[in-house]
Amino acid sequence: AQTVTQSQPEMSVQEAETVTLSCTYDTSESDYYLFWYKQPPSRQMILVIRQEAYKQQNATENRFSVNFQKAAKSFSLKISDSQLGDAAMYFCAYRAPSNSGYALNFGKGTSLLVTP
Amino acid sequence: GAGVSQSPRYKVAKRGQDVALRCDPISGHVSLFWYQQALGQGPEFLTYFQNEAQLDKSGLPSDRFFAERPEGSVSTLKIQRTQQEDSAVYLCASSLSAGTGEQYFGPGTRLTVT
C-alpha cells in the first residue's frame, strides 16, 4: 500500500507571509496523481491543487503552488501571501494509476494557523 | 443541489445499534466514494461505486459495514452492531468519472458510539 507522510503536525504563518507544507509518499508506480486538500474546522474538504506525475511542470493555482520532486517522492505545498481564511487542516493525498483503483490515500494532515 | 450532501450530520448511537448514513452525490457524478476519518487523522478509504456497481470494498473494516447505491445515485452506508471504534466522521465524495481523479467531498456525518 502507498504511504503518504506529512511530517509537520502543525505550522504557523503570519498573514501575508509564505509557508510551505511538506509531503512525501512511497510508490513503485511511475504514473499517478497527487493532491492537496484543505479542511477548515467543521467544514467540508475542498481540493486546493492537483498534480499529475507525468507532468514535469509544477501546478499552480493563484496563491497556491507545489514543488513536485518525482525522484525524491516529495510534493510540498507553498502558500503565498497567506490569509486568515487559509487556516485549516491540509491533507496531502495520493491516487494510484487508474488500473490500480481510484481511492485517495491521505496523509495525517498539517494544521495551519494564520496569525494577524 | 450544488454539492455533495450527507445526512444526518451528527449521529449518536448506543453500542450494538445499527445506523444508516446517507450520501447524495453531485448530480451526474458516476463515481461515489466513502471514507472514514478518525479524530486527528486523515480520511481512510472504505468503498467505491461506479454507478450502481460496487467496484472496490477493500477498505471496509469488517462485515458489519455495508454500502449500497441501488439506482446509481444516492448511497447508504450501513453499520450493524456499532462498536465504540466505529466513532468517526464518515465522508462521502463523488466524481464525474473516477479517472479524472478529482473527488468532491460532502460535509460528513459525525458518528459517536456510546
Summarize pLDDT for A74-103 with one digit per residue, the tens. 999 999 999 999 999 999 999 987 766 788
Nearest CA in chain B to A106: B42
CB B105 within 8 A of CB B4: yes
The answer, yes or no, to whether residue B111 has pLDDT greater than 70, is yes
Report chain A's mean pLDDT, rounded to a whole number: 93
Identify the CA nearest to B78 among candidates B105, B104, B54: B54
Q: In a 3-state reduction of DSSP, which class is residue A53?
A: coil
Cell of B114: 456510546
Q: What is the 3-state secondary structure (H, E, C) of B80-112?
A: CCCCHHHCEEEEEEEECCHHHCCCEECCCEEEE
CB B85 within 8 A of CB A25: no
Question: In this predicted model, what pLDDT tens digit does every residue of B101-110 receive, in sequence order?
Answer: 689 999 999 9
Give the gap in angstroms from C-alpha B91 to the nearest C-alpha of chain A: 9
Report chain B's mean pLDDT, rounded to a whole number: 94
Q: What is the mean pLDDT of residues A27-35?
A: 91
Nearest CA in chain B to A92: B42
Give the gap in angstroms from C-alpha B98 to the nearest C-alpha of chain A: 6
Question: In this predicted model, what pLDDT tens digit does every residue of B69-86 receive, in sequence order?
Answer: 999 999 999 999 999 999
Residue A42 is predicted with a pLDDT of: 76
φ, ψ of residue A18 in degrees (nearest 5): -110, 140
Which of B40, B101, B106 is facing A95, going by the closest CB pair?
A: B101
CB B49 within 8 A of CB B25: no
- The end-to-end CA distance of chain B, in Å, is 33
Per-window interface: B 77-96 vs A, CB < 8 A: 91, 93, 95
